Structure formats: C-alpha cells, structure tokens
C-alpha cells in the first residue's frame, strides 16, 4: 500500500496546548495564582513560553507529578502543592489546571479540590478547577474554557445594576487598554474580564511583588450576573466554552457576541452596540480617530491592493485580521488556525466568498501544511505570531507579527491593533512590510540584471 499521501503527525503546530491558554485568564484576575497538576516540565515550559512573549516574570506552580504519582494517583502531590502555594503567595484565588498526564490517569480534580478545602477549613475559598488536557484542544479553547469556569465558579444571582460585562479574547495588554479607553470615552460603566492589561505588562517598580497589582476584581465577577448585557468578543468560541453563553443561559443576561473591534466595520460594530445599550453619543475624539483611519486607508490602498495574505493564529484573531485585510484590498489566499474552530469556518466562508482570490481555509493546521499550500497559492505577506518565521526563512514570505506568541522580537505585549487608532497602526505595519518587500525584490532584480551576469 502506498502511504506517501497519508500524514498522521503535527509538524511545527500552529497552536500551543490547552493549559497554556488556560493560564492567561487567571493572570487577569486580581491576586490570582495558578497551579498545574502534572509534571514539573509542563509548568516550566508554559512559564518560559508566556514569559518570553510578555517579557514579564510568570509564576506558575506545579504539583510535580512523578512516576509514583502517575501510578498511585497525584492527590497528595496536588494538596501539598496547594499548601506551598498559599504559604508563599497568599493569593485571593487559585486556578487548578490539568495536563495530559493528569487527565490520562483519570485524576478527579473537582473531588480533590473539594476534599482539600474541607480538610483545611477553607470551604469558601475560590479554588477553581479547569480540565485542560493538552490533547483536548488548542490554547484558544483553554483560554475560553478558563474564562467560563472562572465566571461559573464566582458569579451568583444578584440585584440588577448598570455595569455592562465586556469579555475579551486573548489579545495584547495594549489592546485591552485601548478597549478600556474607548469605554471611558463612551462613558460606559463596565466589568472587563479577564483584564491582564497591567498584570502582564506591568510598570517597573520596587519592591518586586510576587503577584502584581491589577486584574478584574473578584467582587465584580461575583456580581456579573446582574449586568444589563454581556459584550463578548468571541464569535468563534464554541458554545460549550463561551462565558457569555453561560451567563445568558444561567442568568438570562443578554449576549452581544461581536468580533474583535478591528477595522472600520468591526470597530463600528463595537461602538454601535455601546450606543444601543447606553444611549450615549459618539465622542468627537473617536470620530477624529475614525477619520484618520479612513485617511490611512486612502493613503495605503495603492500599495495594499498588491497584497496576497496568509493569515494564521487563534480563530478569533484570524477572523478579525481577515475582515480588516478585506476592507483594505490585502485579499487573503489562505486563513489557517491550529484549532478545530468549526464556527470560524462558517464565518470565513461568506466573508472570503467576496474576495477575487480563491481563498482556502485550514483548520487544525500545522506549518508544514501551511507552507505546502503557500507554495501553490503564492502569498506575498504573512500575518500571525512569530512561529510563522518558518514562512519567511523557508518560503521568503515576509511576516507581520501579530497575536500570541511573539518570541523573536520584543514588544508583543505592546502591539496595538484594535479600535480605530490601533487599526491605523496595524495597517501601517502591513503596508510598510509590503513596500519593503517590493523594494527588496526590485533591488534583487537590478543586481541580477547588472551585476550577476557572467563575464563575456
């Protein structure tokens, strides 16, 4: 039997593991810490990976499961790890995430957590469990599930109030700060969750704090069920992972599920929902920024129409970038994500149908598959996280870095891409990359024409 067309491996995946994504929301909750129930190597890998992107110290505890714990169960390890974590950090909330190892041997972390709290007399302590086997999904699914479990554990039926829930996907701290600025300009009373705008991009200060200041207040999350509405930037999130869908189903909080506010249409949608919910007018400052974005689009369209993009990363970001590129003539030829992301496929199909390119969609993709398709489709720009450097190094496609993780450059946590102002900055990065590649190709052709000819 000829097996040359069969592949059952994932080479250079386009995503990270589920517990990696599950850590991030806990970093956006005040006085929160995380413990990974699994081997020491797992938590070390995740700490390093996250720290290299955010350029911040990242503390993640571990139950340090070894061979004995794998055979006889890791309950003792987890309880000892929780004791040490509380002693060293004194957190206000703890997240317990699992790994492949803990899930494979069948660890019941809900039972262990309940038993631990009863034994220590901590029945009211917020110890939140999240089942995140590495094989259970991508880091995107881990992120959304962790947010849902945090809200499900803390939210309670409460009196109605005026604070609108804003639930954000895995975007940069700079993006979260911009969303908060827009909310302030719109005079919106809100609870944003999770908020790692300061905890994962903290100012330099002395003395050093093991748990940085900032994050969504626990008391605000407890009252989240009394909100008049939830705005969730999570169109691609499966309903089983969706925090907004949970609040709608359990507490009747109306859900407005919108894309990340990138581009004219995406940001207009966000502003439009805020105006509908509050009745507040469109601020002059934002109107000026919208006009600058339109001017930016006019300035750059003569260069951008030559763009043929490959877009990859987390589903929600892939969709937002694809929409923004379509607005500006940088038509996608390939959109890829390492996630299953069934909803992404349904959203991208009608969007890309209007493109003059015959765009393709790859789900559960790896970079070997992406590279193979790029050789056929011949994009001239890539947009996504720094693992896409393979496309530059091996296929000669310039990369605009966007999303998580960015390891080969500094400042990933400060990249601003949302709102009218952020989209303007994003378009400048893309347009300048296209221009640089055009000039590079021109210089190479001139060298070939005048200097690389054989001597007569």
pLDDT digits (tens, 9 = 90+) for 368-425: 999 999 999 999 999 999 999 989 999 999 999 999 999 999 999 999 999 999 999 9
What class has domain 285-443?
alpha beta
Query: Is the model's pLDDT at 446 over the cut of 80?
Result: no
Name the 3-class secondary structure at 17.
Answer: strand
Query: Is the model's pLDDT at 258 over the cut of 80?
Result: yes
| Higher per-residue confidence, 182 vs 68 | 182
- The pair of three-digit structure tokens given for residue 388, joined into one six-digit string: 């896409």
> Three-state secondary structure along the chain?
CCCCCCCCCCCCECCCEHHHHHHHHHCCECCEEEEEECCHHHHHHHHHHHHHHHCCCCCCEECCCCHHHHHHCCHHHHHHHHHHHHHHHCCCEEEEEECHHHHHCCCCHHHHHHHHHHHHCCCCCCEEEECCCHHHCEHHHHHHHHHHHHHHHHCCCCCCCCCEEEECCCCCHHHHHHHHHHHHHCCCCEEEECCCCCCCCCCCCCCCCCCCCCCECHHHHHCHHHCCCEEECCCCCCCCCCHHHHHHHHHCCCEEECCCCCHHHHHHHHHHHHHHHHCCCCCHHHHHHHHHHHHHHHHHHHHHCCCEEEEECCHHHHHHHHHHHHHCCCEEEEEECCCCCHHHHHHHHHHHHCCCCCCEEECCCEHHHHHHHHHHHCCCEEEECHHHHHHHHHHCCCEEECCCCCCCCCCHHHCCCCHHHHHHHHHHHHHHHHHHHHHHHHHHHHHHHHCCCCCC
Query: Is the model's pLDDT at 343 over the cut of 50?
Result: yes
User: What's the mean pLDDT when you consider all of the chain?
Assistant: 94
Place of tokens 């317990």: 96
pLDDT at 354: 85
| Higher per-residue confidence, 342 vs 290 | 290
Query: Is the model's pLDDT at 197 over the cut of 70?
Result: yes
- Distance separating alpha carbons of residues 74 and 116, to the nearest angstrom: 13
pLDDT at 69: 84
- Distance separating alpha carbons of residues 76 and 74, to the nearest angstrom: 6
Of the pLDDT bands very low, low, confident and very high (cuts 50, 70, 90), residue 323 is very high
pLDDT at 452: 63
* Stretch(es) of the chain classified as CATH 3.40.50.1980: 18-154, 164-278, 285-443
Q: Is 411 left (phi over 0), alpha (psi -120 to 50) or beta?
A: left
18-154 architecture in CATH?
3-Layer(aba) Sandwich (3.40)
Quick one: which of 38, 92, 30 has its CA closest to 61?
Answer: 38
| Higher per-residue confidence, 400 vs 342 | 400
Query: Is the model's pLDDT at 188 over the cut of 80?
Result: yes
With beta carbons less than 8 A apart as the criterion, state whether 129 and 149 touch: yes
pLDDT at 6: 56
Say if strands 381-384 and 308-312 run parallel, antiparallel, or are unpaired: parallel
* Cβ burial, residue 456 (10 Å; 0-12/13-18/19+): exposed
Of the pLDDT bands very low, low, confident and very high (cuts 50, 70, 90), residue 8 is low
- The pair of three-digit structure tokens given for residue 10, joined into one six-digit string: 């994932």
The structure's pTM equals 0.94
- Distance separating alpha carbons of residues 384 and 325, to the nearest angstrom: 13
Place of tokens 């009218």: 420
pLDDT at 448: 67
Quick one: which of 102, 47, 48 has its CA closest to 77?
Answer: 102
Of the pLDDT bands very low, low, confident and very high (cuts 50, 70, 90), residue 18 is very high
pLDDT at 33: 98
User: What's the CATH fold of domain 164-278?
Assistant: Rossmann fold (3.40.50)
With beta carbons less than 8 A apart as the criterion, state whether 226 and 247 touch: no
Name the 3-class secondary structure at 436.
Answer: helix
Place of tokens 């929160």: 32
Q: Count other Cβ atoms within 10 Å, centred on residue 273.
A: 16
Mean pLDDT of 229-244: 97
- Distance separating alpha carbons of residues 119 and 340, to the nearest angstrom: 40
- Distance separating alpha carbons of residues 55 and 413, to the nearest angstrom: 8
With beta carbons less than 8 A apart as the criterion, state whether 229 and 166 touch: no
* Alpha-helix residue ranges (DSSP H) falling in 196-336: 218-222, 243-251, 263-278, 284-304, 315-327
pLDDT at 1: 44
Query: Is the model's pLDDT at 455 over the cut of 60?
Result: no
| Higher per-residue confidence, 334 vs 4 | 334
Of the pLDDT bands very low, low, confident and very high (cuts 50, 70, 90), residue 177 is very high
What percent of the chain clears pLDDT 70, i.e. is strictly above it? 94
- Distance separating alpha carbons of residues 447 and 424, to the nearest angstrom: 34
């Amino acid at each position: 039997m000829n097996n040359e067309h069969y592949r059952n491996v994932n080479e250079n995946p386009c995503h990270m593991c589920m517990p990696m994504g599950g850590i991030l929301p806990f970093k956006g909750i005040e006085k929160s810490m995380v413990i990974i129930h699994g081997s020491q190597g797992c938590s070390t890998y995740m700490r390093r990976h996250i720290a290299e992107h955010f350029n911040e110290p990242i503390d993640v505890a571990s139950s340090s499961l070894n061979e004995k714990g794998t055979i006889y169960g890791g309950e003792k390890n987890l309880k000892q790890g929780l004791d040490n974590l509380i002693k060293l950090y004194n957190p206000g909330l703890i997240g317990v995430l699992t790994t492949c190892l803990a899930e494979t041997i069948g660890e019941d972390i809900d039972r262990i957590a309940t038993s631990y709290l009863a034994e220590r007399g901590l029945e009211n302590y917020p110890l939140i469990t999240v089942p995140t086997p590495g094989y259970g999904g991508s880091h995107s699914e881990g992120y959304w599930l962790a947010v849902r479990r945090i809200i499900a554990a803390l939210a309670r039926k409460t009196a109605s109030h005026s604070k609108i829930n804003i639930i954000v996907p895995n975007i940069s701290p700079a993006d979260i700060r911009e969303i908060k600025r827009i909310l302030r300009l719109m005079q919106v009373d809100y609870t944003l969750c999770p908020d790692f705008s300061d905890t994962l991009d903290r100012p330099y200060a002395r003395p050093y704090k093991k748990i940085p200041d900032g994050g969504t207040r626990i008391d605000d999350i407890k009252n989240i069920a009394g909100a008049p509405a939830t705005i969730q930037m999570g169109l691609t999130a499966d309903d089983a992972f969706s925090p907004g869908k949970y609040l709608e189903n359990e507490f009747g909080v109306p859900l407005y599920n919108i894309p990340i506010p990138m581009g004219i249409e995406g940001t207009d949608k966000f502003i439009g929902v805020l105006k509908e919910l509050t009745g507040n007018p469109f601020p002059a400052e934002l109107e000026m920024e919208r006009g600058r974005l339109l001017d930016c689009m006019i300035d750059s369209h003569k260069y951008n129409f030559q763009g043929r993009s490959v877009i990859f990363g987390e589903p929600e970001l892939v969709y937002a970038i694809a929409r923004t590129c379509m607005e500006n003539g940088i038509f996608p030829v390939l959109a890829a994500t390492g996630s299953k992301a069934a909803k992404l496929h349904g959203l991208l199909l009608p969007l890309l149908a209007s493109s003059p390119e015959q765009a393709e969609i790859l789900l559960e993709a790896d970079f070997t598959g992406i590279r193979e398709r790029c050789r056929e489709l011949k994009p001239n720009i890539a947009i996504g996280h720094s693992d896409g450097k393979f496309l530059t190094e091996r296929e000669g496609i310039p990369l605009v870095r966007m999303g998580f993780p960015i390891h080969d450059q500094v400042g990933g946590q400060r990249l601003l891409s949302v709102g009218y102002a952020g989209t303007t900055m994003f378009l400048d990065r893309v347009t300048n990359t296209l221009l640089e590649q055009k000039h590079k190709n021109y210089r190479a052709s001139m060298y070939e024409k005048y200097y690389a000819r054989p001597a007569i």
